[in-house]
């Protein structure tokens, strides 16, 4: 019998290790031969730990399972898919999963993350095999044609970035993967690294072949120790099997990979601060130009992409750019793994083609707020994303449509708030976050965020409110247009959206204070 108990951090936080141990000892006691697979998470967090068993009909799910449920599951014959109060039926038929379009996450939760043979059996390394048959510019062309744009937040066309690196002659080039996933309510990068590390390794190897880079670095936040452990183990296995190293699959091509642990600064998610940090320096934003694609890591041409961007590359090479491009809308092609968090009944990972709406994600998938109260706002795109009121929930999630209403899709993180949320306090928090996390390189952010918190305190306390609001708007304008990077440049987004869409909260805060 094959039993799957996730080893993803979210499942572990909910007791998956104890469940795995209970399955092991119960099977031993009953003399039943059980193979326990520690898979990634399916991303249905309210059902974690989600235990699955392999049956001739397909995988059958049970969840959420606690260790104390395990003897009862054996009694109910769960190894043959027997019914139990925790039964969820065939995993693939669970509506939350069935309605998704999983391209980048195709294998997450299905395979054993550290089994190379499992990876290969599920179409793994087909993209690399295809790339090895192509000249570098054709690999870049395929990525450009797919319409893939940076999934870390900036949405810059990946193929164009790669072409700049390809066209810049240098004896040494690098691929740097940004896995410093610091946005609130985001976990897609972590789920890939923990649940399907080889897809990231494969994507980075393809990127190396495409631009002529022989060394890659994965910059992983220190808060992800399990992802670091799994990536290191996967890199060793890929190297031992000839997928990394000095002669990839006998092609004579070279690509090496190393994991670098980040040190907990939000700004190191900014690409040039990340480069500084990988070089062993303090994470401070670099002036641009020069572009990192021309003068990047250690002064060499460098491709910098987010985990999801790179993990989306293998399927593009394996199935063709047209296949990927057929998903999505407008200039937002392919899929995005949306991450639903905050005050939501069914939080988790939803990979869908661009064009889905926030309302569909929050209600059809998420089931509304977990408190049962009306949803008031959702912050999309991390701590510096805008707060969207109900009037904006039907806009299709697409980079351009969001940008047209002054919002960002970012890394696809969605944090939901019910009607008890105080948007004035949340907006103040955004300013304070910027003041704390600012790298200090430029004045609008370094000084502006601190002054911004003071001004907001005055607004909330109703000290000359109209004048202070005008001052805040002026300050936001300076930060928006004068900051060197997105940290200071985006902080006005949550602040202004709260002010514009929820002005009543600023006087409500006053009512609470007095």
Residue 406 phi/psi, 5-degree rounding, is: 75, 20
Closer Cβ to ligand SF4, 12 or 435, answer by number: 435
- Residues paired with residue 304 on neighbouring β-strands, in sequence order: 176
CB of 484 to ligand SF4, least distance (A): 4
Closer Cβ to ligand SF4, 207 or 262, answer by number: 262
Nearest to 60 by CA among 47, 50, 46, 70: 50
CB of 267 to ligand SF4, least distance (A): 5
Closer Cβ to ligand SF4, 78 or 433, answer by number: 433
Closer Cβ to ligand SF4, 316 or 439, answer by number: 439
Q: Do 152 and 186 meet the contact criterion of CB atoms below 8 Å apart? A: no
Q: Evaluate the omega torsion of the peptide bond into residue 348 and state whether it is cis, within 30 degrees of 0.
A: no
CB of 42 to ligand SF4, least distance (A): 36
Q: Do 405 and 378 meet the contact criterion of CB atoms below 8 Å apart? A: no
H/E/C letters for each residue in 155-186?
CCEHHHHHHHHHCCCCCCCEEEEEECCCCCCC
Residue carrying structure tokens 């190393």: 258
CB of 272 to ligand SF4, least distance (A): 9
CB of 254 to ligand SF4, least distance (A): 35
Closer Cβ to ligand SF4, 224 or 266, answer by number: 266
- Token pair of 335, please? 């899929």
CB of 19 to ligand SF4, least distance (A): 42
Three-state DSSP at 43 gives coil
CB of 220 to ligand SF4, least distance (A): 21
- Token pair of 82, please? 């027997």
Name residues whose C-beta falls within 8 Å of residue 28's C-beta, 6 or more positions apart in sequence.
Answer: none
CB of 271 to ligand SF4, least distance (A): 11
Closer Cβ to ligand SF4, 128 or 487, answer by number: 487
Q: CA dist 210 to 128, 177, 351, Å? A: 11, 15, 26
Helix (H) or strand (E) holding 388: strand 387-388
Closer Cβ to ligand SF4, 106 or 268, answer by number: 268
> What distance, in Å, lies between the first and last C-alpha atoms of the chain?
64
CA dihedral 72, 77, 78, 79 (to 10 degrees): 130
Long-range contacts of 271-274 (CB under 8 A, 24+ apart): 271/176, 271/178, 271/304, 272/485, 273/439, 273/485, 274/176, 274/178, 274/180, 274/219, 274/304
- Centroid of chain to Cα 347: 14
- Residues paired with residue 24 on neighbouring β-strands, in sequence order: none
Cα 413 from Cα 378, distance rounded (Å) = 10
Closer Cβ to ligand SF4, 47 or 445, answer by number: 445
CB of 64 to ligand SF4, least distance (A): 40
Range list of H helices, 59-135: 70-75, 95-98, 116-121, 126-131
Closer Cβ to ligand SF4, 104 or 178, answer by number: 178
Chain contacts with ligand SF4 (rule: CB under 6 A): 267, 285, 438-442, 445-446, 483-485, 487-488
CB of 488 to ligand SF4, least distance (A): 3
Three-state DSSP at 291 gives coil
Closer Cβ to ligand SF4, 209 or 485, answer by number: 485
CB of 287 to ligand SF4, least distance (A): 9
Closer Cβ to ligand SF4, 139 or 484, answer by number: 484
């Amino acid at each position: 019998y094959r039993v799957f108990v996730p080893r993803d951090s979210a499942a572990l936080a909910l007791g998956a290790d104890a469940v795995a141990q209970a399955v092991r000892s119960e099977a031993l006691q009953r003399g039943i031969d059980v193979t326990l697979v520690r898979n990634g998470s399916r991303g249905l967090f309210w059902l974690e730990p989600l235990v699955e068993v392999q049956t001739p009909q397909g995988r059958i799910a049970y969840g959420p399972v606690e260790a104390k449920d395990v003897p009862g599951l054996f009694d109910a014959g769960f190894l043959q898919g027997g019914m139990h109060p925790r039964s969820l039926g065939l995993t693939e038929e669970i509506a939350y999963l069935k309605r998704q379009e999983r391209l980048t996450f195709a294998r997450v939760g299905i395979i054993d993350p550290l089994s190379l043979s499992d990876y290969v059996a599920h179409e793994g390394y087909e993209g690399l095999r295809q790339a090895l048959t192509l000249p570098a510019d054709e690999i870049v062309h395929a990525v450009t044609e797919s319409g893939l744009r940076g999934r870390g937040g900036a949405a810059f066309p990946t193929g164009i970035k790669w072409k700049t690196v390809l066209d810049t002659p240098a004896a040494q080039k690098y691929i740097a993967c940004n896995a410093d996933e610091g946005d609130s309510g985001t976990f897609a990068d972590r789920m890939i690294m923990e649940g399907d590390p080889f897809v990231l390794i494969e994507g980075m190897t393809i990127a190396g072949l495409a631009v002529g880079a022989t060394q890659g670095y994965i910059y992983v936040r220190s808060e992800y120790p399990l992802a670091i452990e799994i990536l290191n183990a996967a890199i060793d296995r890929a190297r031992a099997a000839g997928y990394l190293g000095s002669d990839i699959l006998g092609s004579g091509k070279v690509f090496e990979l190393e994991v670098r642990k980040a040190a907990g600064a939000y700004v190191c998610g900014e690409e040039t601060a990340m480069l500084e940090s990988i070089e062993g320096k303090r994470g401070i934003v670099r002036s641009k130009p020069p572009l990192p694609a021309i003068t990047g890591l250690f002064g060499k041409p460098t491709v910098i992409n987010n985990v999801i961007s790179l993990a989306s590359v293998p399927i593009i090479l394996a199935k063709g750019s047209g296949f990927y491009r057929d998903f999505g809308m407008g200039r937002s092609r392919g899929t995005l793994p949306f991450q639903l968090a905050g005050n939501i009944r069914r939080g988790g990972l939803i990979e869908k083609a661009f064009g889905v709406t926030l309302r569909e994600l929050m209600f059809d998938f998420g089931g509304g707020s977990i408190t049962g109260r009306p949803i008031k706002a959702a912050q999309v795109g991390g701590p510096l994303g805008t707060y969207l009121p109900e009037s904006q929930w039907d806009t299709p999630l697409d980079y351009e449509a969001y940008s047209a209403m002054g919002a960002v899709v970012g890394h696809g993180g969605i944090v939901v708030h019910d009607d008890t949320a105080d948007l004035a306090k949340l907006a103040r928090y955004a300013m304070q976050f910027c003041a704390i996390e600012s790298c200090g390189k430029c004045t609008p952010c370094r000084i502006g965020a601190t002054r911004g918190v003071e001004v907001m305190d005055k607004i909330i306390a109703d000290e000359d409110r109209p004048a202070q609001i005008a001052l805040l708007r002026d300050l936001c304008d300076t930060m928006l247009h004068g900051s060197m990077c997105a940290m200071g440049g985006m902080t006005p987004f949550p602040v202004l959206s709260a002010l514009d869409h929820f002005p009543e909260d600023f006087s409500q805060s006053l009512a609470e204070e007095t």
